[in-house]
Structure 1
Amino acid sequence: MAGKPKLHYSNGRGRMESIRWLLATAGVEFEEQFIEKKEDLEKLRNDGYLLFQQVPMVEIDGMKMVQTRAIGSYIAAKYNLYGKDLKERAWIDMYVEGTTDLMVMIMYHPFEPADTKEKNLALIIERATTRYFPVYEKALKDHGQDYLVGNKLSWADIHLLEAILMVEEFKPDILSAFPLLQAFKGRTSNIPTIKKFLQPGSQRKPPTDEKEAVATVKKRYNI
């Protein structure tokens, strides 16, 4: 029997969090090896485990997988969260890329210069409400189903819920103009494996503390 996937990253959200979401939703138990200092990262590099010298890295099925998108695609396909055919996968990919763009803006927010933080936060809210969430609201309306693609939970739905919850940490009423997304959030949050992942004590990581995030990066890369 294959061992549990092992995730190599810092003890924080970053680019690994969406991978944690996928595994948890699929009901897959996983282990985490946290990178806490520069030497931890250098060891992975020196051992030849990082194809492009960077994390996240996931040990799964005898592979040491890197690149967030590749890892996500593999896990989604392995656990039947990636559509039934090429067309469905194309739609899932487009939806995932959209939510990724929004989440990357949020990921970088703690590292923005102090004098631009307020402006950048306003941009995140503006993009969420005028560029990204309207697309998903319309998709649910046009599709007429509970999920974005087909009538089955997919990577696209999991990623969208993660993005919604991230933006709500900045603006709790962000979905006030999106009734279908409000209903979507309620449905998907109550899927048993997701509901479990959202409970305290799970491997889901808390919102990023800005000072701690900056200090961690400086320590890890000795800057």
Structure 2
Amino acid sequence: MSGKPKLHYFNGRGRMETIRWLLAAAGVEFEESFLEKKEDLTKLQNDGSLLFQQVPMVEIDGMKLVQTRAIANYISTKYNLYGKDLKERALIDMYVEGLFDLNDLLMTHEILPADKKDQHFANMMDKAENRYLPVFEKVLKDHGKDFLVGNQLSRADVQLLEILIMAEEFKPDIFAKFPLLQSFKAKLGNIPTIKKFLQPGSQRKPPSDEKVVDQVMKIFYS
């Protein structure tokens, strides 16, 4: 059996994308086993692989880890992306929880019915531009470093970059009022492991199209 982490999820972003980002930023190669139909999920559920009957699930270090935050916590700790002490970890946790909230808004938009997308988009962009992004612009200004916490890469940086790129996909000029975030995005995008992950052909997933959304509905909601 390969020593690489093995990721079990559908072939799309969803809740696994943050895990892919963290592994890639740490320079860790990983394998993926894609759910293609409901029976694939049922098989994992029936063989006891899913503690709470849900994916994402990651096989790593002899464990079958579930729950997105638990997986991200483990990977971040294992690969030194979780700060140098308890205070730094508390800051990272605060920032990451805010990013998960924004991420949920962005992810939800992709699977909404067409008649609800416009209202959700307006609400999502309002919260992004007036609640979440100003926080991180201020953190970078007050901290005065290239990174959000301490002076080294942490999971908060990686997850912020993931969100910034997603937000920019929805609104290309979203950084007009956030020059420090624009600079942060450019600097982090040049870190070698991250730069590699951003190249075409990597395991980073594109925005979900109708085909992916349809597949998700069949796997999880049929």
Structure 1 unaligned runs (5+)?
Answer: none
1:70 partnered with 2:92: no
Aligned to 1:86: 86
Matched, 1:40 2:43: no
1:202 aligns with 2:202: yes
The alpha-carbon deviation at position 2 of structure 1 amounts to: 7.0
Question: In the aligned structure 1, how far is the partner of 2:199 from the partner of 2:73?
Answer: 26
Task: Tell me the TM-score normalized by structure 1.
Answer: 0.97
Q: Determine if contact 1:92/1:149 at 8 Å carries over to the other structure.
A: yes
Q: Give 1:204 deviation, angstroms.
A: 0.3
Aligned match of 2:150: 150
In 2: Cα distance, 1:39 partner to 1:115 partner: 31
Superposed, 1:3-18 pairs within 5 Å as 3-18=3-18
CA distance in 2, matches of 1:124, 1:82: 28
Q: CA deviation at 1:122?
A: 1.1
Amino acid at match of 2:93: D
Q: Distance in 2 between matches of 1:221 and 1:150?
A: 40
Give every structure 1 segment of 4 or more consecutive aligned residues whose post-TM-superposition deviation is greater than 6 Å. none
Q: Is the 8 A contact 1:6 1:32 kept in 2?
A: yes
Separation (CA, whole Å) in 2 of partners of 1:12 and 1:201: 14
Asked if structure 2 preserves the Cα contact closer than 8 Å seen for 1:6 and 1:59, the reply is: yes
- AA paired with 1:26? A
**Unaligned runs of at least 5 residues, structure 2:** none
For residues 93-137 of structure 1, give each alpha carbon's deviation from its aligned partner in whole angstroms, at most 9, with x where no partner exists. Answer: 111111111111111112223222111111111111100010000
Look up the equivalent residue of 1:75 and give its one-letter code.
Answer: I
Question: Which deviations, in whole Å up to 9, do the C-alpha atoms of 1:129-164 show, x marking residues without a partner?
Answer: 100010000001111111000011000000000000
Is 1:218 matched up with 2:210? no
